[in-house]
Amino acid sequence: MLHGYGGHILRVDLASGQVRREKTDPDYMLNVIGGRGLNSTRLYDELKRDVDPLSPENLLLIGVGPLTGTLMAASAFMTISGKSPMTGILGDSAAGGHFGAELKQAGYDQLIVSGCSEKPCYLYIADDQVEIRDAAHLWGRDIWQTTAAIRRELNDNAVQVAAIGPAGENLVKYATVACNNSRMCGRTGMGCLFGSKNIKAVAVRGRGRLTVADPPGFLELCRELDQRIMIHPEYDKRNALGSTLLMKALNGIGILPTRHFQQGLCDYVDQVSGETLAREYKVKNRSCFNCNLHCSRYYLTKDVEAEGPEFETLCSYTSRIGSDNLEFGLKMNAFLNRMGLDSLSSGETIGWAMECIEKGLLTKDDFDGLDLSWGNCQAVEQLLNMIIRREGIGDAFAEGTRSLARHFGRGSEEYAFHVKGLDMICGDPRGIKAFGLTYAIASRGGDHLRAEPFFELTERYDEAEKRWGIREIADRLADKGKAVLVEHTERQALLTDCLTLCKNIGLSMDIMDFDFASHLLRAGTGLKFTPEKVDAALKAVIDQDRKMNIDFGVDAAQDTLPKRFTSEPLKEGASKGQVVPVRRMVAEYYKIKGWDEKGVPKG
């Protein structure tokens, strides 16, 4: 008997309507673990490299971890993968909530969707019962409306729904998929992939029971994990503020993106901080399935009530676009979640336009007369509606910043802050060198979550020397040893994604290591997961991802950062004078990985 895992892989072909259940192969799982590792390997094995991301031949995968749905805290996530409509390379995005656990309890470790439906549909999965249902009546509705309508239709409020909004229907390249209305698979355009297949939603109801191989041993390990979380020195602050604590934290070290990364200091940060949000608007905390860190927040303003926002959304719609209006940022969080639009990519397109206008490269006439000056909230809201509907200039914005800058030219490409087509997150890499390297080498583009080398912010120099033999690893402004750190945390990040474990807990709080994970996996699944076996699986998946991206057209020249971050020093604050020596760090990273000087894995 296979413990821990759901036990089945579900394949659905939308063109033929064929549904097939396959038994999960234990030997296969030993080499991929689950979650993102399972999805990435499936793409590596089965996806044609030259496929158009919007064609029926692209695959849409949803994977969950081997211990998701059990007593293991914080393992509530699921990962959606496919060839990205936005970047044209490997795409995936993860979200927490309750969907992942429900899919697992329905008996599935992975959903594989191929083909394209002739008309709008949604998938309904209830244990062995799998249906492709008509969704014509849901097309055009936002995510909150869709979730409520499906639950009414099925007469079951416990059904978990992953849905897209109008942005996904209209194939906006950075459309999102939402679970529980507000838990977003936000990056790489997985909502666009849903829309390209005419899938409005996946609804799941699981009534199965999961088993573990060693119940007493697994229970003891879960209790240890609970304790590691509860006694962590950051627990109280993370519980109170969630990721919005980063607004003041990053401003304090001079790297909070302000006016499209022209500044790292925001003089009105107190007006838009997580602390102000918690004091003035938060009404309660919320959490994902079986998590003892209730880091999400529910808020009320005069205009909206909603869950969130995470730091990236809060920054993207305040300091990054030069706005000091916190209520506007909260309103946009709710709006973007309902419409299914990525806050980071939409925020970058807007910030790019604002800076191009400021520099005289473009004018409001280029943007259908919109006055995209810094902090003009009315114009921002109007533009977002145009993007979602692909109306007027919104059609060009819906393609993403890389495409948008190429469309206009006139020197605007220099201010499109993306890596490999994925817009950069809200953290200026000039003051966090390991993060800068992470953005450059991340397999899905300008992203921190592929490694999240949070350790460089800790100033734990003695621990850095003990773990890696390099004290400077704990110094955010040093570049020495950062390739060593990123190579390590890249594997640790993939481990959390394979377990579909929250990265804030597993990685940023540095709670999940390879030894502890192997103990949990053995006790949970009964399979022979050793630290060495786990590490080998992680290294193999990372190499596979790189080989697949090379097939998609990625090369060493793209493992870099926009010019601002390598050539323009920050002018003030605790990171004054800093740039990112990205080429040197990338070369060191290749060497540690055992790749050649062109970034090609051996073998």
Same domain for 578 and 465 = yes
Is 126 in contact with 143 (CB distance < 8 Å)?
no
Residue 515 lies inside a defined structural domain of this protein:
no
Report the pLDDT value the prediction gives residue 272, as an integer from 0 to 100: 98
Same domain for 239 and 324 = yes
- Of the candidates 417, 360, 420, 352, the one whose C-alpha atom is nearest the C-alpha of residue 380 is 352
The boundaries of the domain holding residue 437 are 428-498+530-593
Same domain for 238 and 179 = no
- List strands edge to edge, sheet with 296-300: 282-286, 296-300, 305-307
Q: If you average pLDDT over residues 533-539, what whole number do you get?
A: 98
Count Cβ neighbours within 10 Å for each residue of 491-500 and write b for 16 or more, e otherwise: bbbbbbbbbb
Q: Write out pLDDT tens, residues 2-22.
A: 999 999 999 999 999 999 999
CA–CA gap between residue 512 and residue 431 (Å, rounded): 26
Coil, strand or helix at 300: strand
DSSP 315-330: HHTTGGGT---HHHHH
Number of folded domains that form the chain: 3
Q: What is the largest CA-CA distance in the chain?
A: 68
- Of the candidates 25, 29, 37, the one whose C-alpha atom is nearest the C-alpha of residue 538 is 37
Percent of the chain, pLDDT > 90?
100
Residue 386 lies inside a defined structural domain of this protein:
yes
Q: Write out pLDDT tens, residues 386-405.
A: 999 999 999 999 999 999 99
CA–CA gap between residue 510 and residue 442 (Å, rounded): 20
Same domain for 178 and 240 = no
| Token pair of 127 as six digits | 């244990």
Q: Convert 331-362 into a string of H (helix), E (strand) and C (coil).
A: HHHHHHHHHCECHHHHHHHHHHHHHHHHCCCC
Residue 371 lies inside a defined structural domain of this protein:
yes
Residue 307 CB partners (closer than 8 Å, separation 6+): 181, 182, 286, 296, 297, 298, 299, 337
Same domain for 387 and 436 = no
DSSP 51-90: --TTSTTS-EEEE--TTTTSS-TT---EEEEEE-TTTSSE
Report the pLDDT value the prediction gives residue 397, as an integer from 0 to 100: 98
Is 236 in contact with 392 (CB distance < 8 Å)?
no
CA–CA gap between residue 262 and residue 356 (Å, rounded): 12
Report the pLDDT value the prediction gives residue 165, as an integer from 0 to 100: 98
Q: Is the peptide bond before 309 cis (omega within 30 degrees of 0)?
A: yes
Is 306 in contact with 141 (CB distance < 8 Å)?
no
Beta bridge partners of 62: 80, 111
Report the pLDDT value the prediction gives residue 203, as an integer from 0 to 100: 98
Coil, strand or helix at 514: helix
Given CA atoms 340, 403, 79, 321 in this order, what sign does their dihedral have?
Answer: negative
Q: If you average pLDDT over residues 491-501, what whole number do you get?
A: 98
Question: How confident is residue 587, by pLDDT bands cut at 50, 70 and 90?
Answer: very high
Report the pLDDT value the prediction gives residue 497, as an integer from 0 to 100: 98
Same domain for 242 and 187 = no
Is 31 in contact with 24 (CB distance < 8 Å)?
no
- Of the candidates 323, 277, 319, the one whose C-alpha atom is nearest the C-alpha of residue 300 is 277
- Judged against a pLDDT cut of 80, whether residue 603 lies above it is answered with no
Q: Pairing between strand 60-63 and 108-114?
A: antiparallel
Same domain for 388 and 239 = yes
| Token pair of 409 as six digits | 């030219």
Report the pLDDT value the prediction gives residue 236, as an integer from 0 to 100: 97
Measured CA angle at 205 (ends 297, 229), to 5 deg: 40
Domain boundary pick from 355, 379, 408: 408
Q: Could you give the C-alpha distances from 203 to 121, 160, 199, 200, 289, in angstroms and in order?
A: 11, 6, 11, 10, 17
Is 331 in contact with 378 (CB distance < 8 Å)?
no
DSSP 156-224: -TT-EEEE--HHHHTT-TTB-EEETTTEEE-STTHHHHHHHTTEEEEEEE-------S-HHHHHHHHHH
Q: If you average pLDDT over residues 524-533, what whole number do you get?
A: 98
Residue 520 lies inside a defined structural domain of this protein:
no
Same domain for 175 and 275 = no
CA–CA gap between residue 317 and residue 326 (Å, rounded): 8
Beta bridge partners of 341: 175
Same domain for 285 and 367 = yes
Q: Write out pLDDT tens, residues 248-257.
A: 999 999 999 9
CA–CA gap between residue 90 and residue 98 (Å, rounded): 25
Residue 303 lies inside a defined structural domain of this protein:
yes
Q: DSSP class of residue 475?
A: -
CA–CA gap between residue 522 and residue 526 (Å, rounded): 5
Q: Could you give the C-alpha distances from 7 to 26, 132, 399, in angstroms and in order?
A: 9, 22, 39
CA–CA gap between residue 6 and residue 11 (Å, rounded): 14
CATH number, domain containing residue 164: 3.60.9.10
Coil, strand or helix at 472: helix
Q: Write out pLDDT tens, residues 428-458.
A: 999 999 999 999 999 999 999 999 999 999 9
Residue 415 CB partners (closer than 8 Å, separation 6+): 260, 352, 355, 356, 359, 361, 405, 564
Question: How confident is residue 294, by pLDDT bands cut at 50, 70 and 90?
Answer: very high
Report the pLDDT value the prediction gives residue 9, as an integer from 0 to 100: 98
Residue 451 lies inside a defined structural domain of this protein:
yes
Question: How confident is residue 373, by pLDDT bands cut at 50, 70 and 90?
Answer: very high
Domain boundary pick from 160, 189, 205: 205
CA–CA gap between residue 574 and residue 432 (Å, rounded): 11
Question: How confident is residue 1, by pLDDT bands cut at 50, 70 and 90?
Answer: confident
Count of Cβ atoms closer than 10 Å to residue 70 Cβ: 22
Residue 128 lies inside a defined structural domain of this protein:
yes
Same domain for 326 and 440 = no
CATH number, domain containing residue 486: 1.10.599.10
Q: DSSP class of residue 258?
A: B
Residue 516 lies inside a defined structural domain of this protein:
no
- Judged against a pLDDT cut of 80, whether residue 343 lies above it is answered with yes
Report the pLDDT value the prediction gives residue 332, as an integer from 0 to 100: 98
CA–CA gap between residue 603 and residue 601 (Å, rounded): 7
CA–CA gap between residue 221 and residue 521 (Å, rounded): 10
Domain boundary pick from 158, 186, 205: 205
Same domain for 148 and 16 = yes
Count of Cβ atoms closer than 10 Å to residue 435 Cβ: 26
Q: If you average pLDDT over residues 87-97, what whole number do you get?
A: 98
- Judged against a pLDDT cut of 80, whether residue 550 lies above it is answered with yes
Same domain for 298 and 187 = no
